[in-house]
Structure formats: C-alpha cells, structure tokens
Amino acid sequence: MAQSKFLSILLLFFVFPCVSKAQSTVNNKLISPRIRVIMDNDFSGDPDGLFALTHLVLSPSVEVRGIIGSHLNANDGFDRSKTQAENAAKKAAELLAVLKIKDQFPVIAGSNTAMVNDSTPVKSKAVDLIIKEASRIDTSLPLYILCGAGLTEIASAVLTDPKIADKVTLVWIGGPEYSDLALPPPNYSSPEYNLNIDINAARAVFNHSQLKLWQIPRDGYRQALLPYSQLQLKVKPQGEIGKYLTTVLETLMARIQQYHLNLGETYILGDSPLVLLTALQSSFEADPSSSEYALRPCPLINAQGGYDYNAHGRNIRVYRRLDINLMFNDFFAKLELNK
C-alpha cells in the first residue's frame, strides 16, 4: 500500500508535468497555414482596415505574403494628400510595430492614383508583388487577395499579366446592393464608397477579367457592427494593441462629433469579413461554411458605378449573410491570447 501511494505521488510530480509540457509543444504545431494572403487596404482612411489587419496577422491558418497600402478617392476627407498610398503603408507598419511584428512580410505602397481607364494598368511595386506571388510554382497553398478598398492594384496586376487570373481568389469589400437581394440604407451614397475609389479598376475586374471573385457588397459589410461597449470591454484591455486600436477609433469618433454627426453606439468594422471568409473557413471541406452567399453571373459595372445585368458573366459569390459572432469572438480571443 505504501509503495502504491509512493508511485502515485511520483506520477503527480513527474508524469503529469511531462504530459502538460508535451501537450503545450503539440498545441503550438496543431495549426499551420493552409492559404496565402495579400491584404490591400486604404489604411490611412477608415480605421476598420487596421482592425482587420490585426485580426489577420494573429491568425495562424494564413500565411501573409504582403501588405499593400492603397489610395483613397482623391477628395476623401480621411486623407486629402497626394501620398495616400505611402501614408497607408506607414499606418500598416505602425500597427505591426505595436504588435511587435517586424520584417516578417513586405509592407508596400501601391499607386497614389486611380487607373485612367479600364484597360491601362498602373505600375507599382505592389502590382509586381501580386504578380510574383501569383506566379509561384513552389507552393500548393491557394492565394487570396484581400481588398478592403479600391481595386487598382489587383486590376492592374491582371491587366499586366492575364495568366494570373485563374491563380488567385479576390475577396472584395465593396459595391452597392443587388436590387433583388437587398435594399440600400437610408441616405446612401452612389457610387458605393470603395467602388468609387477607382471605378475604372472595378470595371476592369468585373467586365474584362476572369478573376475568381467573392464580393461582400454594402449590405454585407454593414453587418459587421462593433458596439462601443465591446470596444471598451473586449478590445481596450488587451495590451498595447488593444489600447492602440481603441485610441484610433475613439479619435475618429471625437473628430466626427465636431461635424455634429451622431454615430450612435456602434461602428462598422466593414473590412473584418476579409478575415472571416479566409482564416476562419471550416475544418473539413474548407469553405466559409457559416456565412451565406448567392451565386450569380458577374454583372457589368457601368461608368456611373452601377450594375448592368450580364447573362454571360462568370459566376461570382455575393455574400449576403455573414457570421459576425464567429468573426468577433475569434478576434476578441486572439487579442487576449496575444496581449
């Protein structure tokens, strides 16, 4: 009996710690990248892109191959400078510094201007990055281009090298509602914000390319509502990155109040679905299985930024309902785990 008790004590002190250590080691290897991504976003504009970038780089199932800072509309109130793309890249680099992530992947400025028409590409190192990554033959990981702004860089990349069109999936936050799927919000803008950044680029992607396209139009991305209460309780306490993101958003809220605009108690983190549809795909038969989309012929984008029906358009996904709970719960958990 005494020998049995002694052995039990030995197990408690030696075997159990060894098991825990082994499990910890294994857990670090349980998740590895299964897709490649390049994020293209107007980080010097709406801060939703900074939230999405944080979520993305904290997601171990994606291999980030590059971050592109892209331009806004020339008349955008967020940044009226002539160096919008450089400013966007600087904001992305600033965020990565707060996260203590440095030199793990390139942060590149795209073009500072939109395309002059729907057939002439812009030239930039960002366009070169997309083409180079899409042309790789040394990996089988699928490549997703995540655009939370205009489409200047991806449109230019495909125009420059049409062969890459079938080697990437473009996930785009932008475009107005489809009239048979949803109604626009009150006092809506036309053209839709992201499409209006570069209508010619949107026309190049929709009208002339064969890119595989997953679109989250305005009625989709407006579902990504972060309550101010959750910003305070779930984001702000999470170390330096939580403070940084909260400060960025609260600074904007205070700025908007100067123009006598009342945002209420939610903010649309409209770029975060880029992470939901890629990093958070289902385990088996990988796909964004908890979100709903309609499969439809790709419409033509007209000169005014509206849709024209195209019976011969390639099939695209138009996301109608997003799993916002999964998206935000995962974001909050990763912030806490990495604070």
Predicted TM-score of the model (pTM): 0.91
> Do residues 144 and 102 make contact, with C-beta atoms less than 8 angstroms apart?
no
Rounded Cα distance, 130 and 128, in Å:
6
Q: Which residue has the tokens 């919008």?
A: 84
Q: In this predicted model, what pLDDT tens digit does every residue of 103-117 receive, in sequence order?
A: 899 999 999 999 999
SS3 126: helix
pLDDT at 103: 85
Neighbours of 99 (CB within 10 A): 17
Q: Which long-range contacts does 253-259 make (Cβ < 8 Å, 24+ apart)?
A: none
**In terms of DSSP bridges, do strands 315-321 and 292-297 run parallel, antiparallel, or are they unpaired?**
antiparallel
pLDDT at 102: 81
Query: Quick one: tokens of 296?
Result: 């439809």
Task: Tell me the residue type at 73.
Answer: N
Rounded mean pLDDT of 300-327? 97
Rounded Cα distance, 155 and 152, in Å:
5
Residue 28: which pLDDT band, with cuts at 50, 70 and 90?
A: low
Higher pLDDT: 141 or 4? It is 141
Rounded mean pLDDT of 11-37? 56
> Do residues 338 and 245 make contact, with C-beta atoms less than 8 angstroms apart?
no
pLDDT at 4: 44
Work out the percent of the chain whose per-residue pLDDT is above 90. Answer: 89
Q: In this predicted model, what pLDDT tens digit does every residue of 88-101 receive, in sequence order?
A: 999 999 999 999 99
Nearest to 109 by CA among 122, 118, 99, 100: 122
Query: Quick one: tokens of 208?
Result: 């002339």
> Do residues 84 and 126 make contact, with C-beta atoms less than 8 angstroms apart?
no
pLDDT tops 60 at residue 12 = no
Rounded Cα distance, 62 and 102, in Å:
17
Q: Sign of the CA dihedral 19, 22, 27, 31?
A: negative
> Do residues 143 and 167 make contact, with C-beta atoms less than 8 angstroms apart?
yes
Rounded Cα distance, 165 and 134, in Å:
9
Nearest to 337 by CA among 128, 16, 28: 28
Rounded Cα distance, 331 and 235, in Å:
9
Segment among 27-36, 96-105, 140-149 with least mean pLDDT: 27-36
Segment among 17-26, 35-44, 177-186, 210-219 with least mean pLDDT: 17-26
Work out the percent of the chain whose per-residue pLDDT is above 70. Answer: 92
pLDDT at 6: 39
Q: In this predicted model, what pLDDT tens digit does every residue of 196-224 receive, in sequence order?
A: 999 999 999 999 999 999 999 999 999 99
